[in-house]
Amino acid sequence: MSLTKPELLQAYRKMYEIRAFEERLHLENTGGDIPGFIHLYTGEEAIAVGVCENLTPQDYIGSTHRGHGHCIAKGCDIRGMMAEIFGKETGLCRGKGGSMHIADLEQGMLGANAIVGGAPPLVIGASLTAKTLGNKGVGVSFTGDGGSNQGLVFEAMNMAVVLQLPTIFIFENNGFGEATGHDYAVGGRNITRRAEGFGMPAVRVDGVDFFAVYEAVKEAVQRAREGGGPTAIEAMAYRWHGHFEGDPMLYRAEGEVERLRAEKDPLKIFRSKTRKQLSDAELDAIETEVNALVDEAVSKAKADPYPPAENVLTDVYASY
């Protein structure tokens, strides 16, 4: 294992931040305080963190409608995210974006994106910037199994291969796009092989295992930084909640989610794989800290003011 103890602790912290953030949102949303649509990332934490622990703030990621995990992993401020999701002036996008549009360019986060398949074309652009400026940066796009069928995504893969861009295409295969299984929607039933057809290395990894994701991405990032072009990585994982909050998941086996929570929990798996390096006490302490942070983020977000109505006309060139 190539990671130091502080790195391992950091990885766990990030994963737990996502977990605590999302599970709290689930509760808050049930309470009815949150405007708009919410898509939770719980169960897929190892992907976002396994990817982003390989990146620096000079690297860029582009995300999906299910973007909270990517934001947290890439370093977005949790308070700013929570305030954004609650629609407050103090939010990362000053309340204008919401859950599906959280962005933080200073952290290299190009935005959640509510257009399925929207990120890959943008991310190859960030990769082009890195290549043109010669700064060794990379761009990473996240796309779901459902999104993997979108024309935008295929075009971006082809372009990245043609221009040999430093891009990593992460496919988060959580089994479903809304209520439709990946086995139905993905022609050939194999996102990895389809990506390979575009002429780049592609691997499938266990997306609930932080280490599997981390190592595959590490290799891809290194290749990209060295001018070796793009890579596709399909990370197999599971969505614990509904497509959006409110989906009763009629299409899933009874007891499936309970089983996943028991057997496929990225955090539990991480704990068991790091038993030799990290103690439960250390990890529990992190959880306590993070819980407090999320509590604070929620109370702050609730207390913070909404943006004033006149802000509807700011951040745009038109004054009418």
Partner 1 sequence: MAIKTYREAVKEALAQEMERDERVVLIGEDVRGGQAGTASPEKLATIEAFGGVLGVTKGLWTQFGSSRVIDTPITESAIVGMAAGAAMTGLRPVAELMFMDFFGVCYDMIYNQAAKFRYMFGGKAKTPLVMRGMIGAGFSAAAQHSQSPYNIFGSTPGVKVVVPSSPYDVKGLLIQSIRDEDPVIFCEHKALYELKGEVPEHAYTIPLGVANYTREGTDVTIIALSAMVHKANAVADKLLKEGISVEVVDPRTVSPLDEEGILESVASTGRVVIVDESSARFGFAHDVAALIASQAFHHLKAPIVLITPPHTPVPFSPPLEQAWIPSVERIEAAVRKLMEA
Rounded Cα gap, residues 247 and 203, in angstroms:
31
Candidate residues 106, 184, 275, 317; the one interacting with a copy of itself per rule CB under 8 A:
184
- Name residues contacting a copy of itself, limited to 196-215 (CB under 8 A): 196-200
> Which does residue 198 touch among ligand TPP, partner 1, Mg ion, none (CB within 5 to 8 A, set by kind)?
none
Shortest separation between residue 59's beta carbon and ligand TPP, angstroms: 22
- Name residues contacting partner 1, limited to 229-268 (CB under 8 A): 249-254, 256
Candidate residues 10, 33, 57, 152; the one interacting with partner 1 per rule CB under 8 A:
152
Distances (CA, A) of 41 to 15, 46, 318: 11, 10, 36
* Contacts by 247-250, CB closer than 8 A, 24 or more apart: 247/178, 247/179, 250/179
> Which does residue 90 touch among partner 1, ligand TPP, a copy of itself, none (CB within 5 to 8 A, set by kind)?
none
Distances (CA, A) of 64 to 141, 225, 239: 9, 24, 14
Rounded Cα gap, residues 113 and 93, in angstroms:
13
With CA atoms as reference, report the closest residue to 76 among 52, 44, 47. Answer: 52
Shortest separation between residue 283's beta carbon and Mg ion, angstroms: 28
Shortest separation between residue 135's beta carbon and Mg ion, angstroms: 32
Residue 249 or 293 with smaller CB distance to partner 1: 249
With CA atoms as reference, report the closest residue to 121 among 92, 151, 144, 145. Answer: 151
On whether the CB atoms of residues 117 and 109 are closer than 8 A, the answer is no
- Name residues contacting ligand TPP, limited to 267-306 (CB under 6 A): none
With CA atoms as reference, report the closest residue to 235 among 208, 269, 264. Answer: 208
> Which does residue 151 touch among ligand TPP, a copy of itself, Mg ion, none (CB within 5 to 8 A, set by kind)?
a copy of itself
Shortest separation between residue 282's beta carbon and a copy of itself, angstroms: 44
Output the CA torsion sign for 79, 80, 86, 90: positive
On whether the CB atoms of residues 169 and 143 are closer than 8 A, the answer is yes
Could you tell me where the DSSP H helices lie in 86-209? Answer: 119-133, 151-162, 182-185, 191-196
Tell me which residues touch Mg ion (CB under 5 A). Answer: 144-146, 174, 176-177
- Name residues contacting ligand TPP, limited to 57-76 (CB under 6 A): 64-66
- Name residues contacting partner 1, limited to 68-107 (CB under 8 A): 87-89, 91-101, 103-106
Candidate residues 114, 128, 152, 249; the one interacting with a copy of itself per rule CB under 8 A:
152
Q: Is 161 in the site for a copy of itself (CB under 8 A)?
A: yes
- Residues near a copy of itself (CB under 8 A) are 149-152, 154-155, 157-162, 184-190, 193-200
